[in-house]
Each structure stands twice: as C-alpha cells, then as structure tokens.
A and B are shown apart, each in its own frame.
Chain A
Amino acid sequence: MKRISGFLLVGVTVTLGLIAVPAYAESTPMTEAHIERIRDNCVDAQSVLTQLHASDALLRVNRGQLYESISTKLMAPFNSRVALNKYDGSKLIEQSATYERQLDDFRSSYKSYDEAMTKALKINCVNEPVAFYDSVADARTKRQAVHQSTLALQETLQNYKDQFETFAGTIRGKKQ
C-alpha cells in the first residue's frame, strides 16, 4: 500500500511539474505581459496575415508564371537551337538545369510557407496565443525561405545571361 502511495505521489508531482512549466515560444520563455499583448493584438494580426496570404498567393501565381515562362519559352528553345546549329551550349544547359532545380525549390518552399500560414490563420489566437505566436514565427521562417529561393533564381538568371553573352561573343568571332 505504501509503495502504491509512493508511486502516486511521484506521478502527481511529475504531472504538476509539467503543468507548472512556463509558456515557451521558440525555446524562449514568454512573459505573461507578452502573452497578454499577443492575445490583445492577435485578431488584428490575423486580419493583416489574411490579406498578406491572399497577396502572396497572387504573387506566387504571377512570379511562378514568369519564372516558368523564362525556362520553357526562352532558355529551353534557345538551348535547343544552339544544339540544332551544332554549337557547344553545355554551359547554358548547366545554368538551365540549375534554374529548373531552383524553380522546384521555389515551388516546394512556397507550398511549405502556404501550409504554415494556413495553420497560423486557423488557430484561435485568443485561446492559444503562444501557439499562434509560434505558428507565425514558423510561417515567417518559411516565407524567408521563399524569398531566398527567388534570390537564387535571380542570380541564375544573371548567370545564364552572362553565359549567353559569352556564347554570343564566341559565335560572332566564328562567323567573322
């Protein structure tokens, strides 16, 4: 009997200890004042995030189409024309392949961001302010990843352009 009571005592102590752990966001302890501030302003924040989510969806569609059209309507036909005319376009093809890979990264990182944002918007932030704060932080990190992927695409666009100019210089030299 004493043994059972001992186990119960330990169990209750551990449970109470777990409940008593302060609220954490991104492994940083949150003060009550901070939680209260989130609770007070989160409805407005969710409204701002809803608008941002809609405008980001539009940006994803328009940017995605633009990035994709550069690959399918410019890079691929040009590479194919270079090959048909029996020139060495390996550097251009290399840049196109990098661009395609980065385009896939852009698509998948946007998908992750969209899911994170949808999750943040679904949270009842008045009842769960800490979960809301963490979800916003997660969505922010994933949005940053989308931004990085657009920067990578822009850099490759410039690299392809540089390779194109080198190639144009080469064939100009050959034809003269």
Chain B
Amino acid sequence: MSEEQLAADKAHLSKWEQHKFLLMIGFSVVIALFLVGVALALYANSGAAQLDLSRPGYQSVREQAVRNDMFDSFPSTGDLDQQAIEQFRKLYDERAKQATSVDSFGGTVMSDEALSISAPSQ
C-alpha cells in the first residue's frame, strides 16, 4: 500500500476514527483512576486502613505484630467427652487470660495533664 493510498484512506476517516489509539489510552487511564479511587475508598471505609501497619509512621511497631496462625483452634467435629471438655477449657482459659490481662486503651495517657495542655492553675 503506497503512501498516497494511506493518505486517501485517512481522508475518509472521521476525527474519532483517526485518533482511536489515543482515545483507547485515555479511556484506559480514566478507568484505571476510577478503579484506584474505588479501591482507596474501600480501603479507608472498611477498617482495613486501621489494621495496616505498613503505613508510614508504623515502622517502630510493625515487628511486634503477632501472627494470627500462632493460635490453636478447637476441632469442630468429634465426640464431646470429658477429654474434649478439658481440651476446650485449657485452650479457652489460656486465651481468655491473654485477653483480660492487659488494660487496653485505658488509663490517663491522653489526659490534659499528661499532654501539658490543661488550664493553668489560678
């Protein structure tokens, strides 16, 4: 196909048809931006952001996160005999002790006095 033929063919194409490739790239970028926006909204609103210790500012505590697979689970099938009851009691007591041993989110660490922003005494 000669250059003249190509030029002649181009003349018959509409403006949209002449820029199909650029339009495809443009639409792809718009769709990608939209999907990233949806993903970020889900990340922020689902509560996943609060669990994400890879965010900047959490480097100091990241290593101290406990792996979830460290916990043993109680089998959901089988006879419910004295041995099973004892096994459950042992697992439950151990886990409940861990859950109740720390006073989480308590204390006066955020008080005005602790932050030195309380009203000055007269």
Contact = CB atoms under 8 A, between A and B. Distances in A.
Interface string A48-76: 11101111111111111111011011101
Given A37-B117, A157-B99, A161-B92, A77 B105 contact: no
Contacts of B116: 37, 41, 44-45
Given A50-B57, A136-B110, A168-B85, A77 B73 contact: yes
B65 A58 contact: yes
B109 interface: yes
**Best-buried of A30, A66, A164, A171 by chain B (most CB within 10 Å):** A66
Interface residues of B, number: 53
Give chain A's interface residue range (CB within 8 Å of chain B).
Answer: 35 or more
B98 interface: yes
B84 interface: yes
Nearest to B68: A65
A84 interface: yes
B117 A153 contact: no
Interface stretch (A2-10, A11-19, A138-146): A138-146
Given A49-B115, A85-B80, A171-B85, A66 B53 contact: no
Interface string B47-89: 1011101000110110011101001111111111110110011
Contact of A111 (B50, B79, B103, B117): B50
A73 B50 contact: no
B95 to A, nearest CB: 5
A57 B117 contact: no
Contacts of A153: 99
B76 A67 contact: no
A90 interface: no
Contacts of B81: 175
B61 A55 contact: yes
16 contacts: A31-B119, A37-B119, A54-B60, A57-B61, A58-B53, A60-B50, A63-B99, A70-B92, A70-B99, A78-B76, A81-B75, A81-B78, A82-B80, A114-B49, A114-B50, A140-B111
Interface of B: 47, 49-51, 53, 57-58, 60-61, 64-66, 68, 71-82, 84-85, 88-89, 91-93, 95-96, 98-100, 102-106, 109-112, 114-120
Given A73-B73, A111-B47, A158-B100, 20 more contacts: A37-B117, A38-B117, A45-B117, A48-B115, A50-B57, A57-B50, A61-B51, A62-B66, A63-B104, A73-B72, A73-B74, A77-B74, A81-B80, A84-B76, A85-B79, A87-B80, A140-B111, A150-B105, A164-B89, A164-B92
